[in-house]
Amino acid sequence: MAAVLATGEDRFEGVRLLVESAAGIAPRDGDLKTVRHLRFGRPGIDRGRWSEISAMGWLGIRLPETAGGAGLGMAEYAALAGEVGAALLPEPFIEAQLALDFMGKDAPAEALSGDRLVLPAWLDAPDGLTLAGGIAEAAGGRISGRRRFVPMAAAADAFLVVSTEACWLIDAKAAGVSLEIESALDGGHTATLILDGVEAERLSAPDAKALEAAALATASALLGLMERAFAITLDYLKTRVQFGQPIGHFQALQHKAVDLEIEIGLTRAVLRDAVETFDTGDDCRRITSRAKARAADAAMLVTRQAVQFHGAIGYTDEADIGLFLRRAMVLAPRYGSAGFHRQRYASLTEGRP
């Protein structure tokens, strides 16, 4: 079952239809052959599927129509991210969206059409949701500096280098660009981007709220992922027989399964509230932190418990359940780990009544 993260009847229906339309690209019950096929390869994504994603109008979903976007809100974006998460798609949907959100009205048409994949390079530490400085701009607009943990960087046609004071668009093949690529646990990769006097197009300063959207979308992807991992696991509990009965008959497992259902319900509820707060335009940082911390911890709990429920087969590469655990491990720290968000929540809460 897909989580429809919207209240209000018209909106609810709109989001439901959007989720339904996503099934062609990101099916909740599809086989994971293509996901497996793309693992550990470079660029590690399917450009055909990327074109479909753009043809569906998913890119720039939150940008106003005047900027070439779909003019929708966080509820719609989060719902799609949930489907992409459940399908374990390797395509950097949230990252591309973040680049478009950072660029806003400057977003080039080729990026919105999916012809040019622009990925954001904004992080300079292993954890956090804070824009960094440290990009030097020389006369003539050439930039130097470093950004770390750029997901799926080998698939990028261009990078949006982001710092506290400005964004710069650079071509991935421009002189002075180098990538140090590391494989990630889910079969994707992450890169350090090193810039040495790279020709760049300077754009306006980034809107930090784009990062809040990315964190919420990631929380939603984690929700979709854990919902599907749990569904697969429930099936297994009903079919695997030991001691002459389905293992789901054992109360020890029943109780643990219920605890996971509670975690999933909590995540869905917090996320719905967070999405709503975001869409009202209020400061959503505290509830974003709650949603991301909960989703990260819950997804890790659900997927590792799912492996436990599967027994040894869950510890093999051939069982699909492991793909969910490994993706959860990659998404959990992205856009701030649970620990980071708990600290941020505390510091944003200080001094409040």
Ligand X SMILES: Cc1cc2nc3c(=O)[nH]c(=O)nc-3n(C[C@H](O)[C@H](O)[C@H](O)COP(=O)(O)OP(=O)(O)OC[C@H]3O[C@@H](n4cnc5c(N)ncnc54)[C@H](O)[C@@H]3O)c2cc1C
Binding site for ligand X (CB under 6 A): 240, 242-243, 247, 250, 252-253, 308-309, 311-312, 315
Which of 197, 330, 345, 348 touches other proteins by CB under 8 A? 330
Shortest distance (Å) from residue 121 CB to other proteins: 13
Residue pair 284/278 in contact (Cβ under 8 Å)? The answer is: yes
The reply on whether position 349 binds other proteins by CB under 8 A is no
Binding track over 287-326 against other proteins, x by CB under 8 A: -------------x---x--xx--xx-xxxxx---x--xx
Q: Which is nearer to ligand X, 128 or 314 (CB)?
A: 314
Dist. CA 300–CA 252, nearest whole Å: 20
Neighbouring CB atoms inside 10 A of 351's CB total: 6
Binding track over 13-52 against other proteins, x by CB under 8 A: ---------------------------x------------
Q: Which two tokens mark 341?
A: 């968000």
The one segment of 28-36, 175-183, 222-230, 275-283 that binds other proteins by CB under 8 A:
175-183
Q: Which two tokens mark 232?
A: 């697969």
Return the DSSP state at 170. Answer: E
Of 97, 103, 65, 64, the C-alpha closest to 78 is 97
Residue pair 150/160 in contact (Cβ under 8 Å)? The answer is: no
Residues found in the chain:
353
Q: Which is nearer to other proteins, 76 or 95 (CB)?
A: 95
Binds 127: which of ligand X, other proteins, none (CB < 5-8 Å by kind)? other proteins
* Crossing angle of the two packed helices 74-86 and 209-239, in degrees rounded to 10: 40
Residue pair 97/236 in contact (Cβ under 8 Å)? The answer is: no
The reply on whether position 194 binds other proteins by CB under 8 A is no
Q: Which two tokens mark 218?
A: 């990631």
Residue pair 299/334 in contact (Cβ under 8 Å)? The answer is: no
**Which residues sit at the interface with other proteins, rule CB under 8 A?**
40, 123, 125-128, 148-149, 180, 182-186, 190, 241-244, 247, 250, 252-253, 300, 304, 307-308, 311-312, 314-318, 322, 325-326, 329-330, 332-334, 337-340
